[in-house]
Structure 1
Amino acid sequence: MIYLDYAAHAPADPAVLERFCDIERRFPANPNSVHAAGKAAREEMARVTEQIAALTGASPAEVIFTSGATEANNLAIKGIAQASRHIGKHIISTPLEHSSVSGSLTALQERGWEIDLLSIGRDGTVDPEEVRELLRPDTVLVAICAVDSELGTIQPVNEIAALLADHPNCRLHVDATQAIGRIPVDFSGIDTLSFAPHKFGGICGSGVLLKRSRMPLEPQMNGGASTTLYRSGTPALGLAASSALALQLACDERES
């Protein structure tokens, strides 16, 4: 069989699988544990987090590990909306978003948020000027994909980010799942950015959300210590380490 559907899922790189197994063998403890084995796992988790931060232009404190891009999108969109509800309940997005984005927006709409969808041009892109026209004092979020999974269209994220610089109460969430590891992605001007390593040789069940430091975000899960206040659950060191390697390999291949 010739497999070509890399937009849905790329086969795991053998080196990534080996990294996962190696980490699971070498660091069996919970990184949150206070004993020596836990400390060793925690130190390795910190090293892995620093690697992902360096590859994405974020700081280690801005890296949140999730179970995938779907969870990352839910956390970003619902978390921003709920943390900003005292400012307003207006959100701007597009009809081209992944179902984890559109589904999150529908859930918010059913709870009182107002959603405006941008028009799509003949080339599949949105017009930043329409974003400007739709912006209101109560707009708290613009959610847009960096690259559309069906059309392959690259959206003008940088232009929209520059536009929102004059609107400090409005956050920008970018679903970069089809972009990270394939094209250069600049985290500058973006408040939250999601991606899933299984799109570029990583392992399913792992995802990353980048979140600007000091930006309010309401957690969607409670209880259970983790590496961050925003996403509870035992840190999955093996998945995080394999994600870091997959991202490193994808970036090296792209640059070469």
Structure 2
Amino acid sequence: MEARFNKLLYMDYAATTPMHPDVIDTMTQVMRDHYGNPSSLHRLGVESEMLLRRSRETIAEALRCRPEEIRFTSGGTESNNAAIRGAVYKHRHRGQHIITSAIEHSSVHETFCQLEKEGFHVTYVPVSRTGHIDLDALSAALSDDTILVSLMMVNNEMGSVQPVQAVGELLRGRPKTLFHIDAVQAVGKLPVIPSELGADLLTGAAHKLGGPKGVGLLYVRSGLELEPLLFGGGQEFGWRSGTENVPAIVGMAKAIRLAVGQQAAFAERTAALRTGLVEAISQFPQLRLSGSGTVTGEATGGEQIAPHIVHFVYPGMKSEVLVHAFEQQGICVSARSACSSSVEKPSRVLLAMGYSAEEALGGIRVSYSADQDPLDTAEKFRMALTEVIARLSPQAAPSGRRGRRR
């Protein structure tokens, strides 16, 4: 499922992925043959409702949870908003304190900023230079007034894997404090089992793992009540009214099943590719690799970093210039999260990690697929990077050139 558009090498998989051919075929069949409204009582409606039920069961099997714990949404942003706002509005009688980290995705960060304006007390837990949260600071921030902790599992810009299981253990004896995990960059890539992570709420999005855009999921632990954000016909257990997008939901279930089934191979191949990319970047002394940790296919143990994202900084150079320079060399990379890459300002994530404003303007994220050949892709990236550096900084040379690997 390697993506090439007009012969460009696509290395922006953390922004979105091409749809898996099997997902396209499945969705095409559903759109053609199963167009009934799932709420209708006639045969076509019942067939669509059965597809929704099977999709819920498929996703629940992948996450090892109950089918009724899976809710369908329009994507990661809605899932994050619905989880956070639905939780704090429903349980604000317990307290007014909520906690998140300083490097969350904008759909979480901006939601917390808005809740702060509405009177909630927010703690933004700091992170280390490697992009990992300070567990001691999180523990110290907890109080009897804390009703929600929200953390991402894999940082979408840096690839740092947060110790969410350790946080879940920390919160296990605090029934008043709910735990939300943004697992958008983790589902299908790392083991994601909400019950083992101690999650009360967990979000995912189909287009990050070969599924369609515009559809996502929210895991809601059994027995947990959320304030509905959409009212109407009572779909999704009365929590999110509106006619369900059956083809997209079926496509998401298919994509998650395929991704989870290939998870071990994904970790192995992307880790090998990451090694080659890090090696290429390390040849240039003016570039700084961002984040660190053990490359992992698991979600437990020390400081870890995901295998499918590499990030580096070119101080003094704007990331937008670098993105266009790479494109001229035939490679698509990203300045930061696709949701904010058009904004020409320092990366909020890099600033929180202790980088200067100048450094935070020059960050580049490279993300890739297990279907891309590790040696060939790393070599193409190295050649493109050499040309980019030579063009933007003619006096610069790599610290140690290597020949083409076979």
Aligning the two structures, in what range does the TM-score lie when normalised by the shorter sequence? over 0.9
Distance in 2 (CA, whole Å) between partners of 1:185 and 1:9 is 19
Structure 1 stretch displaced more, 74-83 or 33-42: 33-42
Q: Is the 8 A contact 1:56 1:187 kept in 2?
A: yes
1:97 corresponds to which residue?
104
2:162 to 155, 165, 169: 155
1:120 to 122, 127, 132: 127
1:249 corresponds to which residue?
258
Q: Is the 8 A contact 2:201 2:219 kept in 1?
A: yes
Structure 2 gaps of 5+ residues are: 1-7, 266-406
Q: Is the 8 A contact 2:65 2:193 kept in 1?
A: no
**Residue aligned with 1:82, SS:** helix
Matches within 5 A, 1:228-239: 228-239=237-248
The letter for the 1-side match of 2:222 is S
Distance in 2 (CA, whole Å) between partners of 1:146 and 1:117 is 16
The letter for the 1-side match of 2:97 is H
Distance in 2 (CA, whole Å) between partners of 1:71 and 1:190 is 18
Task: Tell me, yes or no, if structure 1 residue 240 matches structure 2 residue 249.
Answer: yes
The letter for the 2-side match of 1:252 is G
Distance in 1 (CA, whole Å) between partners of 2:134 and 2:238 is 36
1:12-41 CA-partner distances (Å, limit 9, x unpaired): 111111111111222110011111211121
**Residue aligned with 1:15, SS:** helix
Residue 186 (structure 1) shift: 2.3
Q: Is the 8 A contact 1:32 1:225 kept in 2?
A: no
Task: Tell me, yes or no, if structure 1 residue 219 matches structure 2 residue 228.
Answer: yes
Distance in 1 (CA, whole Å) between partners of 2:218 and 2:91 is 19
**Residue aligned with 1:172, SS:** strand
Distance in 1 (CA, whole Å) between partners of 2:129 and 2:236 is 44
1:117-170 CA-partner distances (Å, limit 9, x unpaired): 111012211122222111011100000000001110000000000010111000
1:134 to 126, 129, 141: 141
Q: Is the 8 A contact 1:91 1:116 kept in 2?
A: yes
1:162-219 CA-partner distances (Å, limit 9, x unpaired): 0101110000000001111111122111000001010010000010010011112001
1:15 to 13, 17, 22: 22
2:49 to 14, 36, 42: 42
Q: Is the 8 A contact 1:225 1:234 kept in 2?
A: no
Distance in 2 (CA, whole Å) between partners of 1:50 and 1:226 is 17
Residue 48 (structure 1) shift: 1.1
Distance in 1 (CA, whole Å) between partners of 2:48 and 2:206 is 21
Instruction: Flag as ranges the 4+ runs of structure 1 deviating above 4 A.
Output: none
**Residue aligned with 1:174, SS:** strand
Structure 1 stretch displaced more, 183-192 or 168-177: 183-192
Structure 1 gaps of 5+ residues are: none
The total of aligned residue pairs comes to 256
2:402 corresponds to which residue?
none
The letter for the 2-side match of 1:229 is G
Residue 94 (structure 1) shift: 0.6
Distance in 2 (CA, whole Å) between partners of 1:216 and 1:88 is 16
Larger radius of gyration: 2
Q: With a CA cutoff of 8 Å and minimum separation of 6, indicate the structure with the bigger relative contact order.
A: 1
Distance in 2 (CA, whole Å) between partners of 1:225 and 1:35 is 19
1:194 corresponds to which residue?
203
1:207 corresponds to which residue?
216
Distance in 1 (CA, whole Å) between partners of 2:35 and 2:26 is 14
Distance in 1 (CA, whole Å) between partners of 2:95 and 2:201 is 19
